Chain A
Amino acid sequence: MKPPVERANAPSLAERAYRIRRHALRMGEVQGQGYIAQALGIADVLAVAYFHALRYRPHDPEWEGRDRFLLSIGHYAIALYAALIEAEILPADELETYGADDSRLPMSGMATYTPGMEISGGSLGQGLAIAVGHALALKRKKSDAFVYCLFSDGECGEGAVWEGASGAAHWKLDNLIGIIDYNDQQADGPSSQVTGLNGLADRFTAFGWHAQRIDGNDLGAVVAAFDTARALAEPKPRVIICDTKMAKGVPFLEQRERNHFLRVEPQEWQEALRVLAAGRVS
């Protein structure tokens, strides 16, 4: 297993997660809207990805030796921009341009706009299948880099996810790590009710994957799951299903229902930042 990227005296993962949430809230405030609940929910996973697991060079985002991080869920761009800012791949002052004309940070993530954004997500269901191509190519190049793909519970309704799952297992892609954000919210309601996601981990296991299901807001559990996925000797792709809480870290937003596209009133952004800071753990 490759060494983690943590540096001496580096901020803790909890502090990284706090800052990722803070960057995301500030972008949300700029636009007055956004998929902020998803960003707050996935922040812990992104903190572990960018500050424990991934190999990358902040000032050389296309460095050949990097681990690839593919964002299939394009609307989570606000979350990934926050992580990329925290990772110093993007400059912090750029968050003020989020969603604005001519910005490098469009509302839905696209490879052609943003350094560190590997693919154009957004047409849900494509990311995992694209990750299969990256993983095959890296094996051809005899690279030891990993391909991570972040997709969502609702996205598992797309058939292409399962074409990708099948292909990854067939090709024994042990360099592919899928991360599913299971926040149980999609556009029309709870994912477990829209069409149901019974036995999601079992489905991946049946396809020939190594599957873990964890609390995606428990940093220790996320670190352990990433370590397990990376260290596994079995020649099979790996998936980590992360149960996360929408709007995690801002209790008055966590309690809002139907928060796939969370309404936040103008005066609430500052309140959210204050509440988030109050709960800060470093």
Chain B
Amino acid sequence: MRNKYERPARLREQGEGGQGGASRLTTSAMIASLAAPGQRTKPAPFGRALAALAETRPEIVGLTADLGKYTDLHVFAEAHPDRFYQMGMSEQLLMCAAAGMAREGFMPFATTYAVFAARRAYDFICLAIAEEKLNVKIVCALPGLTTGYGPSHQATEDIAIFRGMPDLAIVDPCDALDVEQAVPAIAAHDGPVYMRLLRGNVPLVLDEYDYSFELGRAKLIRDGADALVVSSGFMTMRALEAAKLLEADRVGLAVLHCPTIKPLDEATILGEARRRGRLVVVAENHTVVGGLGEAVAGVLMRSGVSVPFRQVALPDAFLDAGALPTLHTRYGISAEAMAASIKTWL
């Protein structure tokens, strides 16, 4: 239990009144990059892909609730200023206005943070948008644990919230390539979509593999004999890093990237899970409750596939504030923590 009346341990050791000699504290950041030092990245893949797509799709409009800069929608706004609508700090209006514009034949891309869409605007997305299957694309930054600001900004349960909404497709891309390919794909889908957004300088990973994004399809990124990781979002990147770490221990890790959470590619998941002798691990940047892990578990159980099953996911808890690398290690979603977990499960 956290005690706010107790000074941090590292300061206590130095006594009252000073921190002489203490190493610099790691700090939290609103928008921390997921890229490791030296990792290849691409800037603003969502904003750039949307601006490019809008050149040939005049029905596309962009709306935000005071988070244009923080969702990369400013790139679209600069390219198409007359098609950008600033709705202010009003997520309920954002979703309803998007619904109204979709009803008039436009294709709104509405951006905010995942916490605000999932928690604050749920009723508006559900009834104003999804119930009529309106063509609104909801694209939200800070999914799962991608900020150190604590529970007010950490959307650790957004997928659990949205999976219950009929007719809403849910997309959780891995990297810059996935994001930029997902934009035209979700635009081509006739109906509402919720996409988790990685913004800023986004790691570029999947271009090293024979991969392309297809809505509703899971893709095997690499094969392995000992364990199958089914993953979404940046946890696919972590799974690929964990696979390299585990090679040293002669553990073969297969990675099935599943960027569409709903509708789930059940056939591909079942096909891979039925291959004998492998542990199935579902890895996601989301609470263990109600996300990809439980979705995959449900598919396996309903299909009579009985396999050893584990989850690499965030705990069912309000998470700490702090620096992202610290938190990812603390909650077991760093590559090293994931590799260590898988070794103990095998």
A and B are partners in one complex rather than unrelated chains: yes
- B92 and A131: CB pair below 8 A? no
Q: Residue A154 at the B interface, CB < 8 A?
A: no
Choose the segment among A40-48, A89-97, A159-167 that binds chain B (4+ C-beta atoms closer than 8 Å).
A159-167
- B124 and A167: CB pair below 8 A? no
Q: Residue B28 at the A interface, CB < 8 A?
A: no
Please measure, in the bound complex, the distance between the C-alpha atom of A170 and the C-alpha atom of B101, giving whole angstroms: 17
- B97 and A159: CB pair below 8 A? no
1/0 contact trace for A109-139 toward B, CB 8 Å?
0111000001110110110011111111110
- A132 and B100: CB pair below 8 A? yes
Interface footprint category on B: 20 to 34
The contact of B93 among A123, A132, A140, by CB within 8 Å, is A132
Smallest Cβ distance from B107 to chain A, in angstroms?
A: 11
Q: Residue B218 at the A interface, CB < 8 A?
A: no
Q: Residue B342 at the A interface, CB < 8 A?
A: no
Please measure, in the bound complex, the distance between the C-alpha atom of A137 and the C-alpha atom of B124, giving whole angstroms: 18
Q: Residue B88 at the A interface, CB < 8 A?
A: yes
Q: Residue A141 at the B interface, CB < 8 A?
A: yes
Q: For residue A131, which residues in chain B have a CB less than 8 angstroms away from its CB? A: 100
- A160 and B124: CB pair below 8 A? yes
Given contacts A160-B92, A160-B96, contact A122 B127 (CB under 8 A): yes
Secondary structure type dominating chain A contacts: helix
Given contacts A120-B132, A129-B96, A129-B124, contact A134 B90 (CB under 8 A): no
The contact of A123 among B101, B102, B127, B132, by CB within 8 Å, is B127
Q: For residue A132, which residues in chain B have a CB less than 8 angstroms away from its CB? A: 93, 96-97, 100
- A112 and B131: CB pair below 8 A? yes
Sorted nearest first, the 8 A-B pairs with minimum C-beta distance are A133-B100, A129-B96, A137-B104, A133-B97, A163-B93, A163-B90, A160-B92, A134-B100
The contact of A133 among B90, B99, B123, B127, by CB within 8 Å, is B99
Q: Residue B163 at the A interface, CB < 8 A?
A: no
Please measure, in the bound complex, the distance between the C-alpha atom of A72 and the C-alpha atom of B93, giving whole angstroms: 14
1/0 contact trace for B104-122 toward A, CB 8 Å?
1110100000000000000
Please measure, in the bound complex, the distance between the C-alpha atom of A132 and the C-alpha atom of B97, giving whole angstroms: 6
- B96 and A133: CB pair below 8 A? yes
Given contacts A111-B132, A120-B127, A141-B104, contact A136 B92 (CB under 8 A): no
Q: For residue B105, which residues in chain A have a CB less than 8 angstroms away from its CB? A: 137, 141
- B92 and A129: CB pair below 8 A? yes
1/0 contact trace for A82-114 toward B, CB 8 Å?
000000000000000000000000000011100
Smallest Cβ distance from B60 to chain A, in angstroms?
A: 12
Q: Which of A133-151 contact B (CB under 8 A)?
A: 133-138, 140-141
Q: For residue A137, which residues in chain B have a CB less than 8 angstroms away from its CB? A: 100-101, 103-106
Q: Residue B128 at the A interface, CB < 8 A?
A: yes
Nearest A-chain residue to B92, judged by Cβ: A160
Contacts A119-B128, A136-B85 supplied; 6 other A-B pairs, CB < 8 Å: A126-B123, A133-B100, A133-B101, A136-B101, A137-B104, A170-B88
Please measure, in the bound complex, the distance between the C-alpha atom of A164 and the C-alpha atom of B93, giving whole angstroms: 6
Nearest B-chain residue to A121, judged by Cβ: B127
